[in-house]
Chain A
């Protein structure tokens, strides 16, 4: 029976189906807020679903130079990884006792797989712009992972454990991580890293519509593109939840905390969307300098503060 339960968790709730639906709704929030900032009307709520359904019905074109297996397999692997991360996060948020030792490290590790899969997929596409995009994605990955890991370590250091259960318990008992100096700094740095992880402006360098015409996504079409898009939508859903779990007391469906959980989530999404809409795209060298310079220093300061007990 356990197997059936895990399948249910992974495929229906809180796994693939739930994550995909909420993720697509999140992309709608993104599109609507963006449109309002632009003085446009914006799409109706079902637009992301309509787009996905439409893309699923379109022909998949594989470029002649492409390495077919890698090209088509990679988005699926990315999707599987993002869904797995979401499942783990939700299960531990809803039932902290199901946490296991080191699950925060596992989630962090799984969350890099979508980026890696895009790197491999775009390299396999055989398109020069796609390959340039994939090389940029790789540089970006190296740039933001270091400050991100150090920031998450501040929380892990305070909790004294790698397990989500301990992290959540500590925040429920002694106030959220965001209540301390080190927590605030780490939170800000993590938001910037999430912006890069989602490849949103100012760090949409691997896609760069007006430079690389989509870069890593360039050659994907039809159902494969739908999977890529879904992958991004799920990441857009998972990363704020991860952030809330690590710094802001987690998500809960008990009593009035439903409301605060949703508000926390929407607040982070809106912050991300506003950053996206009030900045131009930076160059890859500027992005790397930004993450290895100010962001790394800030994250080290947060770590030192955490060690000193602030």
Chain B
């Protein structure tokens, strides 16, 4: 007998609302329905009502964790439109903040993965190890999250020279802690039993679903936007793309853990270069940008979860005419449709979480009349009207009772 087990829209395993409906036969998952659209915020539309310089602050809020990757991809898109190249100093600072973000995001995921399989000690320890990363981010950018560092043509703030020894010290300590954590994951027999051979997403399926980031790299599908698109400073730095072959949850964890070491390597190199440069002036940090001419630009950056894609179109005004965002979770969450099949319910939660989903990034709305095939894009006013009508309807039905 096939039963339906809901995971969501509100469930302890989900940090944001999302709805997975598992069709189970006993303990085995035979089918899954994925419903997105529980926390749509209309950021693309909002962005079209902000000036070019205000948009980075907005797109930071696309995701609380990828709050460096989204503005990074956006400024890359605008710079692509303008055909300018930012200064070396700005490139290093961008890389430092983005890689610090990767460190804290991966540690956060490892902790959450531990929590999902009931290993709360790992959860607490990972989040404790993550704290120094956030402290450094605060010292460098002024905020623990939502760094407000990226700006069209450069960055907003320099890394203070006196912070550089602190950054190095934190990185050295974190290297040791991450080493310990990685070994703990590689050695624990119970973690092996829970994660090896679970939620396998092989190379061909990664390609089919267009999986991105660690989810794809765990399955041997070699994509990394930082390398593939030669993003800013990354082309000249010495680092490797981590690849695994099996595509199970264990490999997804291993990829993330090993990427932490690569991130530390990148930050160390950037910090060395910044120290060699000495303190900089305002001109070193940001280019003078005047009018944004009509045209279009693409920006791609490898967020901790995979490739973030931003497209902007300008009509010569002071606001983007069109701003399109695609977050990696949109591709990755849908891979669950394949990867949870034929595993136990106990594994389903872990598998859906293993893509490191960021639910609110994936939300979007469009409207299609299925009878006529007519399409609309809803405006802000339409959405407000819909919302008011719904409230009125609920109120009426309550009054009826």
A216 vs chain B, min Cβ distance (A): 15
Complex Cα–Cα for A208 and B347 (A): 11
In the complex, what distance in Å separates the CA atom of A204 from the CA atom of B117? 10
A11 within 8 A of B: no
In contact, A286 and B193 (Cβ under 8 angstroms)? yes
Whether the pair A284, B5 counts as a contact (CB closer than 8 A) is no
B119 adjacent to chain A (CB < 8 Å): yes
Return the CB mask of B122-142 against A: 1 if under 8 Å, else 0: 111100100000000000000
Task: Report whether A204 and B193 are in contact in the complex, using a CB–CB cutoff of 8 Å.
Answer: no
* B344 and A210 form a contact (CB under 8 A): no
Q: Indicate if the CB atoms of A283 and B349 lie closer than 8 Å.
A: no
- A284 and B118 contact, Cβ closer than 8 Å, known pairs A38-B124, A128-B6, A129-B5: no
Report how far A209 CA is from B14 CA in the complex, Å: 12
Evaluate contact between A285 and B12: CB separation under 8 angstroms: no
Contacts of A132 in B (CB 8 A): 5, 24, 27, 345
B-chain residues with CB within 8 Å of residue A286 when the two chains form the complex? 193-194
Contacts of B6 in A (CB 8 A): 128-129
Contact of B124 among A40, A208, A278, A280 (CB under 8 A): A40
CB-defined contacts of B117 to chain A, threshold 8 Å: 210, 280-281
Proximity bits, B307-345, A CB within 8 Å = 1, else 0: 000000000000000000000000000000000000011
- Would you call A69 an interface residue if the criterion is a C-beta within 8 Å of the partner chain's C-beta atoms? no
Least CB distance, B173 to chain A, in whole angstroms: 15
The reply to whether the CB of A39 lies closer than 8 angstroms to some CB of chain B is yes
- Which B residue's beta carbon lies closest to that of A274? B121
What CA separation (Å) do A279 and B116 show in the bound complex? Answer: 12
A286 to B343, CA, bound (A): 13
Interface residues of A in 192-214 (CB under 8 A from B): 201-202, 204-205, 208-211, 213
Asked whether B4 is an interface residue with its Cβ less than 8 Å from the other chain, the reply is yes
What DSSP secondary structure best describes chain A's contact surface?
loop
B66 to chain A, nearest CB (A): 23
Complex CA–CA separation, A84 to B191 (angstroms): 38
Interface contact B128-A39, CB-CB below 8 Å: yes
CB of A211 within 8 A of CB of B13, answer: yes
| B side interface size, CB within 8 A | 33
Q: Any chain A CB within 8 A of the CB of B114?
A: yes
Q: Which of B3, B115, B122, B190 contacts A282 (CB 8 A)?
A: B190
Check if A210 sits within 8 Å of B27, measured CB to CB. Answer: no
**A119 to B333 CA separation, bound complex (whole angstroms):** 34
Question: What is the CA–CA distance of A202 and B191 in the complex, to the nearest angstrom?
Answer: 11
Q: Give the contacting residue for A280; candidates B3, B11, B13, B190; CB below 8 A.
A: B190
Contact B191 A280 (CB under 8 A): yes
Number of A-B contacts (CB under 8 A): 82
Q: What's the Cα separation between A277 and B344 when bound, in Å?
A: 24
* Shortest beta-carbon distance from B25 to chain A in Å: 12
With the chains together, A286 CA to B190 CA distance in Å? 10
Is B120 in contact with chain A by the CB < 8 A criterion?
yes
On chain A, the residues within 8 Å of B393 by CB distance are: none
Q: Are A39 and B125 in contact (CB under 8 A)?
A: yes
A217 to B347: give the CA distance in the assembly, Å: 20
A101 interface residue, CB < 8 Å from B? Answer: no
With a cutoff of 8 Å between Cβ atoms, the chain A residues found around residue B12 in the complex are 209-210, 213
Are the C-beta atoms of A281 and B121 separated by less than 8 Å?
no
Please tell me if B34 contacts chain A, counting CB pairs below 8 Å: no
* Given contacts A202-B190, A211-B349, A280-B190, A285 and B27 within 8 Å (CB-CB): yes
Does B346 touch A at the CB level, under 8 Å? Answer: yes
Chain A, 258-300, contact with B by CB distance < 8 Å: what is the 0/1 string?
0000000000000000000111111111100000000000000
Is chain B's interface secondary structure helix, strand, loop, or mixed overall?
helix
The 8 Å CB contact of B346, one of A37, A40, A211, is A211
Residues of A within 8 A of B190 (CB): 202, 279-280, 282
- Can you name the residue of chain A whose Cβ is closest to the Cβ of B113? A280
Min distance, Cβ B11 to any Cβ of chain A, angstroms: 6
Given the complex of chains A and B, what is the CA–CA distance between A38 and B188 in angstroms? 18
The distance from the CB of B20 to the nearest CB of chain A, in whole angstroms, is 12
- Contact between chains at B125 and A210 (CB < 8 Å): no
Look across to chain A and name the residue whose beta carbon is closest to the beta carbon of B189: A279
Closest chain A CB from B145 CB (angstroms): 22
Question: What residue in chain A is nearest B112 (Cβ atoms)?
Answer: A210
Q: A128-B3, A128-B5, A210-B12 are in contact. Are A283 and B124 (CB under 8 A)?
A: no
A210 vs B118: C-alpha distance when bound (angstroms): 7
Query: Contact between B194 and A283 (Cβ–Cβ < 8 Å)?
Result: yes
Which of A40, A208, A278, A282 is the one whose CB lies under 8 Å from B193?
A282
Q: Complex Cα distance A96/B334, Å?
A: 64
- C-alpha spacing A131/B200, complex, angstroms: 28
Q: Which of A39, A202, A278, A283 contacts B347 (CB 8 A)?
A: A283
Which chain A residues (229-273) contact chain B, with CB distance < 8 Å? none
- Bound CA span A213–B121, Å: 19
> Does A202 contact B118, Cβ atoms closer than 8 Å?
yes
- Bound: A278/B118 CA distance, A: 10
B-side contacts of A282, CB under 8 Å? 190, 193-194
Interface string of A18-61 (1 = CB under 8 A from B): 00000000000000001001111000000000000000000000
Q: Are B121 and A278 in contact (CB under 8 A)?
A: yes
User: Nearest chain A CB to B340's CB is how many angstroms away?
Assistant: 12
Residues of B91-131 at the interface with A, using a CB-CB cut-off of 8 Å, are 114-125, 128
From known contacts A210-B349, A280-B194, infer whether A128 and B4 are also in contact, taking CB-CB under 8 Å: yes
For B345, what are the chain A residues with a Cβ–Cβ distance below 8 Å? 132, 211
Of residues 139 to 168 in B, which have CB atoms within 8 Å of A's CB atoms?
A: none
Residues of A within 8 Å of B116, CB to CB, are 210-211
Min CB gap B41→A, angstroms: 26
**A38 and B346 contact, CB distance less than 8 A:** no
How far apart sit A282 and B347, CA to CA, in the bound complex (Å)?
10
- CB contact list, B1-56 vs A, under 8 A: 3-6, 11-13, 24, 27
B264 to chain A, nearest CB (A): 22
Complex CA–CA separation, A232 to B188 (angstroms): 29
Q: A128-B4, A213-B12, A280-B190 are in contact. Are A37 and B118 (CB under 8 A)?
A: no
5 A-B Cβ contacts within 8 A? A279-B118, A280-B119, A282-B194, A283-B193, A284-B27
Chain B residues close to A by CB (< 8 Å): 3-6, 11-13, 24, 27, 114-125, 128, 188, 190-191, 193-194, 344-349
Among all A-B residue pairs, the 3 with the closest Cβ atoms: A281-B118, A38-B124, A280-B119
Q: A280-B122, A282-B190 are in contact. List 10 more A-B contacts (CB 8 A).
A: A38-B123, A39-B124, A128-B3, A129-B5, A202-B190, A208-B118, A211-B346, A280-B190, A283-B194, A285-B27
